Amino acid sequence: MSKIILITGAASGFGRDTAETLAAAGHKVYASMRDVAGRNAEAANALRAKGIGVVELDVADDTSVARGVAQVLSEAGRIDVLVNNAGFASAGVSEAFTADQAKVLFNTNVVGVIRTTKAVLPAMRAAKDGLIINIGSILGRVTFPFFGIYGATKFAVEALTDSYRYELSQLGVDVVLIQPSAYPTNMYSAIQQPADAQVGAAYGEIGAIPGKMFETFMGMFQSENAPNPHDIATAIVSLVDAAKGTRPARTVVGQPFGADAVNAATAPVQQGVIDALGLGFLATIAG
């Protein structure tokens, strides 16, 4: 059955590939992005040429999110699926990032999810149906040194996803999480770097580690066995097509670095928590 799907951050990378893949599978897709008439005009036109709707939407801005979601609802009448994909990464000595840099990162990666989810939920609740797919990261489960601030945003998305899933389960809305590993996308070319270079330099050899890690990732991405970013779109299509009540809460995609083990170990603990609260029924989505 064809669904109406809104994807954030769809100008490039996982978002654009997912938009094109879902559209090819027969769904009506709305790809949202910033600056549709400017720097993303080429991407917007290419998506339109494939029959994909394009929406101006900045997840870091309340008014922009409200306007973009209203546009989709006006044109399509409903939103069956929201893919919260928009976000960016940061890497470097944590102390060398400014508080303002962290605020920008959290405003996009965490508050952005809250904004878009809040905007689509009234229509989904009214329909007693819907699916929200949050794009997290394995770094929301395991920690890489020098990715701490970015990882903190993804740990936050983990908590949000679980809470939304419980709170919305009896209203017919399913909320799940994709946990991608490292993939060759433009995320790395646009990665946030620490603003305080002097602090990084004060770390000496330790401060040079992030650059070496980056070189390792770049080498891996250029090898014959480089991971294929299309894996993410494939996983999302599977979640969209799955029957309500059968979707896994979390899906690791790519090299897990132990995130899959953390998922498996945490699941029964989390179930025990809500059972202890007398709320175990919230773990099962209503039909």
What residue spans of the chain are helical by DSSP H? 13-24, 41-49, 62-76, 99-109, 111-127, 148-168, 197-202, 209-221, 230-241, 259-276
Q: Identify whether the C-beta of residue 95 lies closer than 8 Å to the C-beta of residue 17.
A: no
All residues at 6 or more sequence positions from 13 whose CB lies less than 8 Å from its CB, including other chains: 185, 186, 187, 229
Tell whether the torsion through CA atoms of 173, 285, 176 and 237 is positive or negative: negative
Q: Identify whether the C-beta of residue 95 lies closer than 8 Å to the C-beta of residue 102.
A: no
Number of helices (H) and strands (E), helices first, in the chain?
10, 7
Which of 150, 164, 166, 183 is catalytic? The answer is 150
14 vs 142: CA distance, rounded Å: 21
Question: Does the active-site annotation cover 30?
Answer: no
- What is the chain's length? 287
All residues at 6 or more sequence positions from 29 whose CB lies less than 8 Å from its CB, including other chains: 5, 7, 19, 22, 23, 52, 53
**Residue 92 CA to chain centroid, in angstroms?**
21
Instruction: Give the residue numbers annotated as catalytic, written as ranges.
Output: 150
